[in-house]
Amino acid sequence: MDEAIARIEAALRRLGAHTEPPAGWERRVLAHTRARAPRRGWWTVPAFALAAAFAFAAPPSAPRELELAVVREVHGPAMRGGDLRGDSAHVGDHLRVTARGGAGPRQLWVYRNEVELVAVCPGSPACGAAGDAVTADLALAALGTYTIVALTSTTPLAPPGGSYDGDLAAAGMAGATIRTRQVDVR
Amino acid sequence: MVKWPPIGTRGAARDLALNDVVAGELEPEDPDHDIVLRIRSTTGDLTEPLRLLMRRHGTAVYRFCREQLHDATLADDVHQQIFIEAHRDMGRFAGRSTLRTWLFAIARHRVLDAAKSRRRAAAHIEEDDTADTPDPTPPPGDRLDDARLHQALVQCLAGLGDHVRTAMLLRYQQGFTFEDMAVVCSEKPGTLQARVMRALPVLRTCIESRTRGKL
């Protein structure tokens, strides 16, 4: 190939190689998507749980889908200064998490900031059971974003290693059904 | 066969996407397989797949926007808009291409729209890349060095039509195959290949005439 053309091609490959997006751009995108997302308050969560309970009581005609319910229990004043608090929780609140339905045994993995494994159910002290459901009662002891993952699989899953991305990718590749919820603790 | 988790309550469009996947249309070789899995398995909130998508492809998309638009402020806006749109449409991603190809199809549309709007408004084009770059004219008899080549290349690329520049950037800056470019651009691979091959000598002539240098 013509050396001049080869130089041009090489220069084209290097175009913008040292250019980086402006700081904070990801945060701005997320803020925009959150502003556009339909707001669903915490008060809808118990309704989901109630509906799930009815579904659980009825004789199943087919395998039910995996359901993940998260209910926040406020310890202390329910409304601080009249603040409805939107979708966020505070340090000291509790989360009552229930995973039911799905094919195969259920598990709950809870991460803080995607890197710290807070609970693995069954197994952790916070875990419990109600019928075929797996539950966890989590005290929110630190600020951060808590990601609650419910999984079910007909094949054994590798235990989580503490990296949210890696753990979920592995579970997904193993054929697990996954549900996730996030709670910001501010 | 890849077994996908059932999809939650995301409506008919999402069910259609699942059916597409079950029918085997998802490319199992997609390097963003884990993000696609996340999109399929997440009920309602697609923030996590979006975060991963931004982390993995944010810089490449930004570089594409910058070189296409040659305007930092406009590129910043378009770049964010691309990911906002990706988040909006992610639930309908059917897996007929890789996620990266799908993302760049969005990017191409938004960049071309922005370029068209700018032309309509006859806006000033910021030549920020030329501020601290050397004089493109080399000393007589010298071979053009890389810095001068870069500067002249940027200027000559800006002189190409939008669709030609898009093809050049997708091919070289982003490393797409002509087949993937065909998906991004909704054109035939052969058409795009011919466009790229025709553009290279045009760029050479432009660079040599601008710099009066030897490539």
Assign A168 a pLDDT band (cuts: 50, 70, 90): confident
ipTM: 0.78
This model's pTM is above 0.80: no
Q: A1, A9, A12, A39: best mutation site toward chain B, by most B Cβ within 10 Å?
A: A12
For the cut 90, the answer to whether the pLDDT of residue A85 exceeds it is no
Is B38 close to A176, i.e. CB distance below 8 A? no
- Cα angle B58, A169, B61 (rounded to 5 degrees) comes to 10
Cβ neighbours of residue A157 closer than 8 Å, sequence gap 6 or more: A107, A151, A170, A171, A174, A176
CATH number of B11-125: 1.10.1740.10
Q: Pick from B6, B45, B203: which is nearest to A182 by CB? A: B45
Alpha-carbon gap, residue B111 to A107, rounded angstroms = 44
Note whether A51 contacts B: Cβ–Cβ < 8 A. no
> Residue B166: its pLDDT value, please?
96
Indicate the average pLDDT of chain B. Answer: 81
> Residue A35: its pLDDT value, please?
66
Span B97-125, average pLDDT: 85
Note whether A131 contacts B: Cβ–Cβ < 8 A. no
Indicate the average pLDDT of chain A. Answer: 78
Note whether A115 contacts B: Cβ–Cβ < 8 A. no
For the cut 90, the answer to whether the pLDDT of residue B129 exceeds it is no
- B chain contacts of residue A5, beta-carbon cutoff 8 Å: 200-201, 204
For the cut 50, the answer to whether the pLDDT of residue B2 exceeds it is no
Alpha-carbon gap, residue A105 to B8, rounded angstroms = 19
> Residue B152: its pLDDT value, please?
94
CATH number of B136-215: 1.10.10.10
Q: What percent of chain B has pLDDT over 90?
A: 58
Alpha-carbon gap, residue B177 to B168, rounded angstroms = 11
Q: How far is A2 from chain B (nearest CA, A)?
A: 10
A181 vs B78, residue with greater confidence: B78
Note whether A177 contacts B: Cβ–Cβ < 8 A. yes
Q: Domains along chain A?
A: 3-32 (no CATH), 43-185 (2.60.40)
Q: Which tokens in the block code for residue B54?
A: 């931004």
Span A112-129, average pLDDT: 90
Span A85-112, average pLDDT: 83
Note whether A3 contacts B: Cβ–Cβ < 8 A. yes
Span B20-25, average pLDDT: 35
Span B124-144, average pLDDT: 53
Complete edge-to-edge strand list for the sheet that includes strand A127-130: A67-73, A94-100, A133-139, A127-130
Is A178 close to B6, i.e. CB distance below 8 A? no
Nearest to B115 by CA among B168, B74, B79, B167: B74
For the cut 60, the answer to whether the pLDDT of residue A140 exceeds it is yes
Span B180-204, average pLDDT: 96
For the cut 90, the answer to whether the pLDDT of residue B128 exceeds it is no
Q: Pick from A17, A20, A29: which is nearest to B84 by CB? A: A29
Write down the domain spans for chain B: 11-125, 136-215
Note whether A178 contacts B: Cβ–Cβ < 8 A. yes
For the cut 50, the answer to whether the pLDDT of residue B206 exceeds it is yes
For the cut 90, the answer to whether the pLDDT of residue A107 exceeds it is yes
Residue B94 is which amino acid?
A
